[in-house]
Structure 1
Amino acid sequence: MLKTTLRGTTALICLSLAMPAAAQDSPSFDDPGYLGTLVLTGGKRDLSFGTALPRTVVEAEEIEDRQASTVAQLIDSVPGVTLVNGTTPQGSGINIRGFGANTTYGSDQKIAVQVDGASVGSEELYRIGTQLFTDPLLYREVEVLRGTIGSFAYGSGIVGGVVKLETRNASDFTGGLPGFGGSQTFEYGSNGNAWVTSTNLAWMPADGAEFLLNYSLRDQGDLAAGDGTIIGNSAFRTPSYLAKGRFTFGQDNAHTLSFGHSRTVADDRDVPYDQFETTAGSFGRVDRVTDTRQTTLEYGYNPASDLIDLRATLSYADQSIDTTYIDGSSPFQMGAPVTVFCANPFFGVICADNRYETTKLTVSNRAVFTTGGIGHDMLAGVEFMRRVRLDAPSAPGGQDRRFAAFVVNEMAMGPVTLTPAIRYESSDLQSAVPLAGVPDSYASDALMGGVSLAYDFGNGLSVFGSAAYTEGLPIIDDLSASAVSQARLGMSEKSHTFEIGVEYTGMDVFAPGDNLTIRGNAYRTRLWDITSYTVSGSTATDLDKVESHGFELEASYGMASGVYVDLAGHVGNGTEFNPDGSTVVWRNSAADRIQMTLGKKWGDDFDLSWEVVHAADRRDALGDALPDSTIHNLRASWRPGQGWLDGSEVRLGIENLFDQDYVGHLSSSSRKAPGRTVKLSLTKSF
């Protein structure tokens, strides 16, 4: 399959971030068949060629093929992405290029996560994961954008990257035609006696109207590691729901109105408070109910004009984490009444309820025009956001009101594409409680931006580079009267990233009918005026700066016979600088990792593959060295396509084939990775 389109650079990702797919019937700039990239299908993952952006897309086929338990587990195959602390939605975190989840919080505000445009999972809650509580089977696509250069239509302070999830549509099951459709999936996993059921019901009563309902339930017991020991605190049960509706109307279907709502609930009883660990430890045990909801309402107007492609997206994300401490389960309680223990300023975090709500309105327009022989593809927009958080021990409450304006202009000049991007953002923080002796509100703003340049030699070879600068404005977590917080509230955290790379794509490269896509890019990031990381062993002294660098490689090769090879890898390192001038290895650096998949497809009916993942230079959550690890995974999928089996799919996966005993990079040493796991899934479409 070959898709040829306009060449894209920064605008490619920025536009796709700002404008969710399926908003109109005519081609749109967020449709990969329109957007400016040459996409060659070799193996399981289609690789984009012709952009200056490190972008990886995991589509529905791969989502189902990987049989992942969490979104974090699904995307850890992307170069530079690390899954921190296991395969449960409660404890796992996403780290990109050394930023994101860390050993204390599930987020450091330097990666952003969107579900259908709603901002989720970015709170710094102590010893709680990324808060991305959702099920992979709700989604038709997960897009990972690494680094800063493509983030300016999304937010400020993005250093690691952006994870954008798009839920399924009714048209995915009806083929875009009026009528009924849907699917039913059952899955079983041998490790932890895990099982999943996922039901999709789709209805298009007429052209221009579609509705989708999904219910998914995932249940997993405690997993076993490669040495046979039980991995404590690895069981979970999460029901998820999704409802979507979309209407297209007006002359030439210029108007669209869509609605989406998803929800996932995790009801955990008698579990360790510390989601990163496997036992109760010092923090004791709790009953915890986590309720996550996202709602999006979007209006689109795309008349027969190159100058107007308008979107207005209103989103609301709400997550509550209700925690009930189990009396006597923490050794710190030392016989004190539970009311006294929970009232302690330090230990109160174990008993605290957390809730945060984010309401966001984004209005943007895309215009395509020409001036003086230069083609412009320009996105301009404004964004209003209000985040409210409940006050709790170690998690200050308050509200953060933000306004942002951004412009991204892709300018095509023959083989050269130049894309400048700029974003202005202002923030007003207001504490939920009075702060002793200091103001209760703080205002700040910043101007940030970047530029990318790509040159196409016209023979399948392209070179590219980019430079980006961003600022992370003060956040609700810094609302405190302490000297450390006051210093952080008085400045923004700054970073710049430079990237350079080369890519090649071609057909009939080594044999008739084959295709090859390969891309390599090097990056270097510097973070200073740091407000989110302290010197090792200190809670009051921030680092002076952090520098990181690395090289990412993605490649896909496919032959006419159906044989294919996929490759993804990352090598890199980083340094953290203390105020006294001393340096140590950056504690959150991604591991050196290479992943290769060798497989063969027999048409669309059968796919058999062998995946090898080797990781080196690994460390646990405390920074202690871990040995290299090599994991083997086997996968097979079969679509019978005949008789009563037409529309059915059978998938078999064997993960950690040789039952290796190991700990994942940046994970707690007690939380080992799962041992051998056999997964079988059956799907029937109707």
Structure 2
Amino acid sequence: MGQFAFGSRAAGYRRGALLSASLVFCTTWGAALAQSAITYSIPAGTLDSALTRFGVASGVQVLYDSSVTRGLRTSGVRGQLGSNAALARILAGTGLSYRFTGTNSVTIGDGSRPSASGTAAADGPGVLGPINVTAGGGGNPQDKPYETPGSSSHISAEQLNRLPPTTAGDVFVGTPGVISAGNHVGTSINPNIRGLQGMGRVTTTVDGARQGTSSYRGYIGNRDEVYVDPDMLGGVDISKGPSSGAGVGGIGGTISFRTLEAKDIVKEGHDYGLRLKTDIGSNTISPPAIGTAASDDRPAFLNGDAWSGSIVAATTQENIDFIAAYSKRQNGNYFAGTKVPYGVVFSTMPTQATAAPRPGSEVFNTSQDTSSILAKLTLRFGDDQSLELGFNRYDSTYGEINELNFQPWVPAGQVQHDLSQTKVDTYTAKYRYRPQDNPLVDFKANAWLTDLNADSGTIKANGFGGYGDLSAGGDVSNTSRFDTPLGALTWENGLEIVNENAKSSTLVSGTLYTSPAPIGVRTMESVYTKATLKPLDWVSLSAGARYDHYDSKGKDYLAAYPEHSGQRVSPNIGITLEPADGVQLYGLYTEGYRPPSLRESHWNYGWLLGINPDLQPELAKNTEFGVNVLKDSVFLPGDSLRFKAALFSNDYDNYIVRGPADNIINRYKWDNIAAAHYRGVELSASYDSGTYFVDGNITNYTTIEYCPTSNTCTPYASGLDYGGSYVPPTYAGSITAGFRAFDDALTVGARLQFASERSGGKIVTGGIAAPQTWPRYQIVDLFGSYDFGNDLKANVSVENLFDRYYIGALSSIGVAAPGRTFRASLVKTF
């Protein structure tokens, strides 16, 4: 045995009442053991922690090999139970079993040993030998970033429900190095990872399906548009930097949204599950008539103009899982905060103004009316194969602030416009084949299609029409595992193909054509391989490469422009050291290749911006060193400590910017500069004692610079480029702390989110936009929840507790974030 562990606007808006939050409890019952019942209060968490708490509460000695439980998580147990029933609930869903080897001792093993019923094995009492646990079997997603060499993050459903997002981009508050740029100019997400955003630099998927369209934003440039309903999310996984697997073109990183699955709704031991959720909020009012410029009064505490509701039903059978969900979300225009910090200037002078909406006033064009539908069917063919088919529809009518119409000194920009409309249909298919007796085969195949159509109200105000993107693609991969004379070897090989078909209306101005979005087709293909060798128990070496190829061409009037194509091989290497259990040191070097987006290669904006036939792809060269710590029972029995630190140096050759066109006055083109550099440090940590918990993160940039030539670099973007809107704050982060009481029925806590000014100061002289730097801020949010029992739970939150007037990090224009906002929700599960 490797180690013993001792466990222990009401007008026009309906008020919603429906649906959600799931409490997943395990109900595997075994042979009863005659003993007195004990009141248990063991929260969800790591399995090691839960077993420690069980041992302390029951007085039972729990014996197991620590390798068996590493990375596993439990839903916990609460109530008056015997130790046999309590232990069955703790282990349910982990794939592990138990057997009592005495009145006060129990041994934990894998499911292939003693039966999950808890009945003693025929071989009698004894101690388990070493047990090998296959990867991916029940690991805790929240722990994965602390077990992964490289920078990654996980956002759980629990975190999303704790402080419900005002906008979809709020899901990233609390995630180091990730910000949704222009978070309050519409309902879409435009993610920035460590200074990289736009033009597909960040790959964003929903259940593996890409969303890759972009919109024209006037002086601010362009915005990637990703649409997702937070009520449909089961979790979010984020990796930073070029991908060594699927994720072609995304040199900034990959954000993977996972929608709800049957396992999120159906309780352990049940065949069916139902979740109902309703939410209501304050600080909002139904949008007024088009052209309204006068702000209404800030509404009363709760006026019914902000609400959401969802219903989710699911079943899980022996060979079939099915889930269906519907969500509705409505809110009016929100109101800005009243406490204005020094540095925010309201003026009619272009060189002075930094913000537009006055303190406590209505922020026009921030409403939404969104409906979502989700359906998934999973078929299992024995224990080795599965096929999942999914459909997701996002349909929204919403207010949108287009920076082309908005400047702080232009009153006409601060009026209510026509609402925008966007519909996204997503289709996915996922096949898995992993025979348990063949370590050479772990096969995955994914196919997807995303159909996005948008009709922007502010775009229509400028004479433009609708636009959209039909994207399709897929990937196949296989991971083989070998035992070699040099050590255990894992080898992954894969192929990925992505096709984007951008569509847009066309306008004619004299002899020049203009379109609100690109009109063209781009195809990207990638073949990748990566091998990881473990010559020693505490050393892992990895090396790999990917071959990327692309081809893009225009359609309609843009077919006359040159076709673009290119290819490259990008290597990656890494080393990981584990000098002690739960401690990991790593070093990584990864290269990546981003072909010009269709917006950069096949979009013409009349006399203002033309196509550059010589535009080259961007090349990423990233180096990172870091440490991970994952420890349990550090200060108190059953507590958990997590820590992650990363030092990153990211270099991007041939970085694409907007610059002047050759010999054409007042016309621009996309062009390459020599390089851009982002360097900094990122820290994240969490501690949970069971009663108290705290977690925090910070990202600090030591260098952000742009280099027109290899010998000329500046700490700011070119005044003619849009990149000044992409530069993140010098530092940003958050701290969350709270406690649990009344047998964990009550949870109360607070979050502090903070950010400095944008790195590099104000936009360089000669820029075409207003200064894009606002004061630093610190915002306090409160949250709480109470479990009434019988699967009924209430959540409350107060965002921006002190009603601060602030402009969020990476805001594209001077639009204040929401002032003090109260929210409450009820969740009932069956």
Task: Give yes or no for TM over 0.5.
Answer: yes
Provide, for residues 428-454 of structure 1, a one-character-per-residue CA deviation record: whole Å limited to 9, x for no partner: 222113558753x33321211312211
Name the structure 2 match of 1:139: 233
**Residues 489 and 471 of structure 1: is their aligned pair in 2 closer, same or farther, counting only changes over 3 Å?**
farther
Following TM superposition, by how much is the alpha carbon of 1:244 offset from its aligned partner in structure 2, in angstroms?
Answer: 0.6
**Partner Cα distance (1:647, 1:276) in 2:** 48
Name the structure 2 match of 1:316: 449
**Residues 660 and 375 of structure 1: is their aligned pair in 2 closer, same or farther, counting only changes over 3 Å?**
same
The residue matched to 1:407 in structure 2 has which SS?
strand
Q: Does 1:219 align with 2:330?
A: yes
**Residues 624 and 75 of structure 1: is their aligned pair in 2 closer, same or farther, counting only changes over 3 Å?**
closer
Contact 1:89–1:132 (CA under 8 A) maintained in structure 2:
no
The amino acid of 1:75's aligned partner reads F
Contact 2:482–2:488 (CA under 8 A) maintained in structure 1:
yes
Aligned residue runs from structure 1 range 255-294, under 5 A:
255-268=385-398, 273-274=402-403, 277=406, 281=413, 285-294=417-426
Following TM superposition, by how much is the alpha carbon of 1:47 offset from its aligned partner in structure 2, in angstroms?
Answer: 6.2
**Partner Cα distance (2:484, 2:67) in 1:** 21
Report the more deviating stretch, 85-94 or 47-56.
85-94
Following TM superposition, by how much is the alpha carbon of 1:544 offset from its aligned partner in structure 2, in angstroms?
Answer: 3.0
Name the structure 2 match of 1:640: 788
Following TM superposition, by how much is the alpha carbon of 1:6 offset from its aligned partner in structure 2, in angstroms?
Answer: 10
The root-mean-square deviation of aligned C-alpha atoms, in Å, is 3.3
Name the structure 1 match of 2:262: 170
Q: Does 1:502 align with 2:598?
A: no
Q: Does 1:627 align with 2:793?
A: no
**Residues 178 and 597 of structure 1: is their aligned pair in 2 closer, same or farther, counting only changes over 3 Å?**
closer
Name the structure 2 match of 1:584: 715
The amino acid of 1:198's aligned partner reads S
Aligned residue runs from structure 1 range 370-385, under 5 A:
370-385=483-498
Contact 1:38–1:48 (CA under 8 A) maintained in structure 2:
no
**Partner Cα distance (1:87, 1:566) in 2:** 26
**Residues 484 and 230 of structure 1: is their aligned pair in 2 closer, same or farther, counting only changes over 3 Å?**
closer
**Residues 590 and 471 of structure 1: is their aligned pair in 2 closer, same or farther, counting only changes over 3 Å?**
same
Q: Does 1:559 align with 2:689?
A: yes
Give the unaligned 5+ runs of structure 2: 1-45, 49-65, 71-93, 97-109, 111-132, 285-304, 339-359, 506-514, 718-723, 763-768
Following TM superposition, by how much is the alpha carbon of 1:512 offset from its aligned partner in structure 2, in angstroms?
Answer: 4.4
**Residues 185 and 170 of structure 1: is their aligned pair in 2 closer, same or farther, counting only changes over 3 Å?**
same
User: In structure 2, which of residues 467, 485, 496 is the aligned counterpart of residue 354 of structure 1?
Assistant: 467
**Residues 570 and 326 of structure 1: is their aligned pair in 2 closer, same or farther, counting only changes over 3 Å?**
closer
Name the structure 1 match of 2:553: 430
Name the structure 1 match of 2:434: 302
Report the more deviating stretch, 533-542 or 411-420.
533-542
Q: Does 1:232 align with 2:372?
A: no
Report the more deviating stretch, 600-609 or 118-127.
118-127
Contact 1:613–1:631 (CA under 8 A) maintained in structure 2:
yes
**Partner Cα distance (1:530, 1:376) in 2:** 37
Following TM superposition, by how much is the alpha carbon of 1:475 offset from its aligned partner in structure 2, in angstroms?
Answer: 2.8
Following TM superposition, by how much is the alpha carbon of 1:632 offset from its aligned partner in structure 2, in angstroms?
Answer: 0.7
The residue matched to 1:74 in structure 2 has which SS?
helix
* Rg (Cα) greater in structure: 2
The residue matched to 1:585 in structure 2 has which SS?
coil
Following TM superposition, by how much is the alpha carbon of 1:361 offset from its aligned partner in structure 2, in angstroms?
Answer: 2.0
Provide, for residues 476-510 of structure 1, a one-character-per-residue CA deviation record: whole Å limited to 9, x for no partner: 22126999976565522112111111232333434
Give the unaligned 5+ runs of structure 1: 9-23, 28-32, 101-106, 331-341, 343-350
**Residues 243 and 153 of structure 1: is their aligned pair in 2 closer, same or farther, counting only changes over 3 Å?**
same
Provide, for residues 564-587 of structure 1, a one-character-per-residue CA deviation record: whole Å limited to 9, x for no partner: 211111110401123493523253
Higher strand share: 1
**Residues 395 and 7 of structure 1: is their aligned pair in 2 closer, same or farther, counting only changes over 3 Å?**
farther
**Partner Cα distance (1:324, 1:169) in 2:** 35
The amino acid of 1:380's aligned partner reads N
Contact 1:85–1:276 (CA under 8 A) maintained in structure 2:
no
The amino acid of 1:73's aligned partner reads D
The amino acid of 1:246's aligned partner reads T
Following TM superposition, by how much is the alpha carbon of 1:180 offset from its aligned partner in structure 2, in angstroms?
Answer: 2.2
The residue matched to 1:509 in structure 2 has which SS?
coil
Q: Does 1:569 align with 2:698?
A: yes
Provide, for residues 233-267 of structure 1, a one-character-per-residue CA deviation record: whole Å limited to 9, x for no partner: 111111111011111024xx222111111011112
Following TM superposition, by how much is the alpha carbon of 1:160 offset from its aligned partner in structure 2, in angstroms?
Answer: 2.2
Aligned residue runs from structure 1 range 77-88, under 5 A:
77-87=174-184
The amino acid of 2:240's aligned partner reads R
Provide, for residues 133-176 of structure 1, a one-character-per-residue CA deviation record: whole Å limited to 9, x for no partner: 2211111110111222xx12123342321110111112222235
Provide, for residues 609-659 of structure 1, a one-character-per-residue CA deviation record: whole Å limited to 9, x for no partner: 111122213378855432221111111111122xxxx11111011111111
Contact 1:7–1:35 (CA under 8 A) maintained in structure 2:
no
The residue matched to 2:553 in structure 1 has which SS?
strand
**Partner Cα distance (1:585, 1:73) in 2:** 27
Contact 1:655–1:677 (CA under 8 A) maintained in structure 2:
yes
Name the structure 2 match of 1:544: 674
Name the structure 1 match of 2:733: 594
**Partner Cα distance (1:40, 1:210) in 2:** 21
Following TM superposition, by how much is the alpha carbon of 1:38 offset from its aligned partner in structure 2, in angstroms?
Answer: 12
Name the structure 2 match of 1:346: none
**Residues 611 and 464 of structure 1: is their aligned pair in 2 closer, same or farther, counting only changes over 3 Å?**
same
The residue matched to 1:63 in structure 2 has which SS?
helix
Contact 2:541–2:576 (CA under 8 A) maintained in structure 1:
yes
The residue matched to 2:231 in structure 1 has which SS?
helix
Aligned residue runs from structure 1 range 45-124, under 5 A:
46=143, 48-87=145-184, 89-90=186-187, 92-100=189-197, 107-123=198-214
Contact 1:113–1:122 (CA under 8 A) maintained in structure 2:
no
Name the structure 2 match of 1:152: 244
Name the structure 2 match of 1:524: 649
**Residues 538 and 55 of structure 1: is their aligned pair in 2 closer, same or farther, counting only changes over 3 Å?**
farther
Report the more deviating stretch, 225-234 or 476-485.
476-485
Structure 1 vs Structure 2: percent identity of aligned residues? 23
Name the structure 1 match of 2:594: 472
**Partner Cα distance (1:38, 1:258) in 2:** 19
Following TM superposition, by how much is the alpha carbon of 1:87 offset from its aligned partner in structure 2, in angstroms?
Answer: 4.0
**Partner Cα distance (1:507, 1:529) in 2:** 46
Report the more deviating stretch, 230-239 or 542-551.
542-551
Following TM superposition, by how much is the alpha carbon of 1:71 offset from its aligned partner in structure 2, in angstroms?
Answer: 3.4
**Partner Cα distance (2:69, 2:152) in 1:** 14
The residue matched to 2:225 in structure 1 has which SS?
coil
**Partner Cα distance (1:171, 1:194) in 2:** 30
**Partner Cα distance (1:538, 1:522) in 2:** 40
**Partner Cα distance (2:216, 2:609) in 1:** 18
